[in-house]
Amino acid sequence: MSRLPRATVIMAAHNAEETISEAIESILAQTMSDWELVIVDDGSQDRTAEIAESYTADARIRLISIPTPGGSGAARNQAIRIARAPVLFVQDADDIALPYRLAVQLGKLEGDPGLSVVGGQVAEFGLWGGPVRGSWPTDDKAIDHRISDGRMAIAHCAAAMRKSAVEEVGGYDEACLRAQDYALFLRLKEHRFGAVDDVVVYYRTARPVPLRYAIVSGRYGKLARQRAHARGAQPTAPVHGIAAIPTDARSLVGWIRRNARERLQMRSLTSRSSR
């Protein structure tokens, strides 16, 4: 690989033996070939590293193995440190990139030097069915409003980011074992975000999401906000006990709303399939 690639795909993987082949194959199937894929096996105890290693005969694919799990944020930071391209693409080890993903998002970034981050639409799927297309904003004002409101601006699983911008803000916050994506976007809030209207990723999900997952994610979301705004000493663990009650209550309400929305979607899918 003497010539630098235009895109580095970063993939953090932990016990992903059932899905990682499909994720890697989706990158191999891209319409553009000028990329590299950096896979970081984050202390897996299954065949994840072995499966990933089997793809490294392709010189564009590299594998880093970390013996002790450190979290997906730390794993992605490892990949970023050795990335050779100016643009980073997030690819989770259980998701599927559509064939045109790299070309479409890279085209938008290269066509607008002022952009630092470009998202895209995702379609959720899983054992429950799908894919079901989501709806992330593509209008600059709508994206800016989400950023100023402290919400996720784009879908992290469909993110393309300039490496220089990510390095400028220090990469992923490794103290946030969950909500690493949210923490990173808070760090990047002074940079311009954009998005394409194309579905670029099939995003594998569980339905319903376990309530405990929603609660813990909410606590780490609060930690991400605290650390993004703190100067000097920063907290390193999510809140618990009485201090967590307001955060947990918001997470519970969000979980109830999400479950209701997803039940309606699944009912609609069942209805269409039975016709």
Give the Cα separation of 99 and 28 in Å (integer).
9
Could you tell me if 35 and 87 lie in one domain?
yes
Q: Which of 87, 93, 33 is nearest to 63 (CA)?
A: 93
Could you tell me if 172 and 73 lie in one domain?
yes
Helices 72-82/180-187 angle, 10° precision: 50
Could you tell me if 165 and 223 lie in one domain?
no
Could you tell me if 44 and 171 lie in one domain?
yes
Q: How many CB atoms lie within 10 A of CB 264?
A: 10
Could you tell me if 217 and 162 lie in one domain?
no
Q: Name the domain count of the chain.
A: 2
Could you tell me if 194 and 246 lie in one domain?
no
Tokens of 177: 């074992």
**Residue 19, phi then psi, degrees to nearest 5:** -125, -15
Give the Cα separation of 85 and 80 in Å (integer).
10
Residue carrying structure tokens 């970034």: 109
The residue out of 170, 204, 238 marking a domain boundary is 204
Question: Within a domain: residue 2?
Answer: no
Tokens of 242: 């009485």
Question: Within a domain: residue 18?
Answer: yes
The residue out of 178, 204, 230 marking a domain boundary is 204
Angle, CA 249 vertex, CA 189 and CA 125 arms, to 5°: 65
Q: What is each CA distance from 64 to 23, 76, 90, in whole angstroms? A: 17, 11, 16
Single pTM value for the model: 0.92
User: Domain range spanning residue 226?
Assistant: 211-273
Name the strand (E) or helix (H) holding 189: none
Could you tell me if 135 and 235 lie in one domain?
no
The residue out of 204, 225, 245 marking a domain boundary is 204
User: Could you tell me if 239 and 226 are in contact, meaning their C-beta atoms sit under 8 angstroms apart?
Assistant: no
Could you tell me if 98 and 130 lie in one domain?
yes
Taking only the tens of pLDDT, the chain with its 275 residues reads 468 999 999 999 999 999 999 999 999 999 999 999 999 999 999 999 999 999 999 999 999 999 999 999 999 999 999 999 999 999 999 999 999 999 999 999 999 999 999 999 999 999 998 899 999 999 999 999 998 888 999 999 999 999 999 999 999 999 999 999 999 999 999 999 999 999 999 999 988 889 999 999 999 999 999 998 876 567 888 877 777 888 989 989 988 998 888 888 777 766 666 66
Could you tell me if 92 and 117 lie in one domain?
yes
Could you tell me if 13 and 138 lie in one domain?
yes
Could you tell me if 226 and 242 lie in one domain?
yes
The CATH number of whichever domain residue 112 belongs to comes to 3.90.550.10
